[in-house]
């Protein structure tokens, strides 16, 4: 009999949490997450495309951050259904800073795009990290997804010229230029990212306008609160 438990990923897929990676905490590099004492594994969950947004809408959940609230609800139901004996802690969403892109890189999900949103050949930039869970599970650790960075072979780089703030015009990404552009009253990037829209990779998974507006309204609120 296998020493590993079956990872019940289909139940998460159905709720739109369709990117899943399992790490043995003992194998993680230092500094990726904070205190993991007492737990054996780290489960990284993400969404790709529009399935999660559709599931959130169908659930009728409201509030300021329905995606996070829905995700936590799904994770709790999933753990109680499939791992009722195991302890767990949801680190993200939560107040503790987590190096999500580092975890994404370890999972093989993350390659840096010129505008610093993660990208891969299947999903393009249309994915995001949704949950980091510490657990006493014994799932088989995931193998890193092996995909190249599509930006490495992108000759025309339309994302760079599409940015109205010229945030990548100097050869690297200027967060300050992006923020300044988005804060302007008539900014075309208040509720979207024109660079992201211009990228052709993973077009089949592109967020709906409503999903984009929700995502970017949250980051705009953060910008207005802190800059
Ligand atoms: S347009 Fe090209 S360089 Fe820009 S994010 Fe897409 S693949 Fe990368
Ligand atoms: S949000 Fe707008 S300003 Fe910022 S990188 Fe994207 S296109 Fe440029």
What the block records as the tokens of 123 is 């999903």
CB atoms closer than 10 angstroms to residue 139: 20
List, for residues 100-157, the tens digit of each pLDDT value: 999 999 999 999 999 999 999 999 999 999 999 999 999 999 999 988 899 999 999 9
pLDDT of residue 139: 96
- Cα–Cα nearest to 126, from 213, 209, 208, 48: 48
Query: Can you tell me the distance from the alpha carbon of 16 to that of 37, in angstroms, rounded to the nearest whole number?
Result: 30
Rounded-to-integer distance, Cα 153 and Cα 193, Å: 22
Q: Whose CA is nearest to atom 5 of ligand 1?
A: 113
172 CB-side CA count, 13 A:
3
Using 50, 70 and 90 to split pLDDT, how confident is the model at 159?
A: very high
Atom nearest to 182 CA in ligand 2: 3
Burial of 133 from C-beta contacts in 10 A (0-12 / 13-18 / 19+): buried
For residue 29, what are the CA distances in angstroms to 93, 102, 141, 183?
Answer: 21, 10, 15, 37
Question: Does residue 93 have a cis bond before it (omega within 30 degrees)?
Answer: yes
164 C-alpha to ligand 2 centroid (Å): 7
Q: What is the pLDDT of residues 178-203, one digit of tens each?
A: 999 999 999 999 999 999 999 999 99
CA of 144 to the centre of ligand 2 (A): 30
Q: Measuring CA to CA, how many Å separate 149 from each of 2, 146, 203, 214, 226?
A: 35, 10, 16, 27, 32
Asked whether 162 lines ligand 1 (CB < 6 A), one says: no
């Amino acid at each position: 009999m296998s020493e590993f438990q079956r990872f019940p990923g289909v139940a998460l897929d159905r709720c739109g949490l369709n990117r899943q990676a399992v790490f043995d905490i003992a194998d993680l590099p230092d500094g990726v997450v904070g205190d993991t004492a007492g737990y054996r594994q780290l489960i990284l969950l993400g969404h790709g495309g529009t399935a999660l947004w559709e599931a959130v809408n169908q659930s009728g959940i409201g509030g300021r951050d329905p995606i996070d609230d829905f995700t936590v609800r799904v994770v709790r139901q999933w753990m109680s259904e499939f791992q009722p004996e195991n302890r767990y802690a949801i680190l993200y969403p939560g107040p503790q800073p987590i190096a999500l892109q580092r975890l994404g890189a370890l999972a093989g999900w993350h390659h840096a795009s010129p505008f610093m949103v993660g990208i891969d050949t299947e999903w393009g930039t249309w994915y995001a990290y949704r949950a980091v869970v510490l657990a006493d599970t014994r799932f088989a650790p995931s193998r890193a997804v092996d995909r190249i960075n599509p930006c490495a072979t992108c000759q025309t780089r339309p994302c760079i010229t599409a940015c109205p703030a010229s945030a990548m015009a100097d050869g690297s990404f200027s967060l300050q230029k992006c923020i300044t552009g988005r804060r302007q009253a008539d900014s075309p990037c208040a509720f979207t990212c024109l660079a992201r829209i211009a990228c052709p990779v993973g077009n089949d998974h592109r967020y709906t306008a409503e999903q984009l507006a929700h995502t970017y309204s949250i980051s705009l609120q953060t910008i207005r609160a802190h800059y």
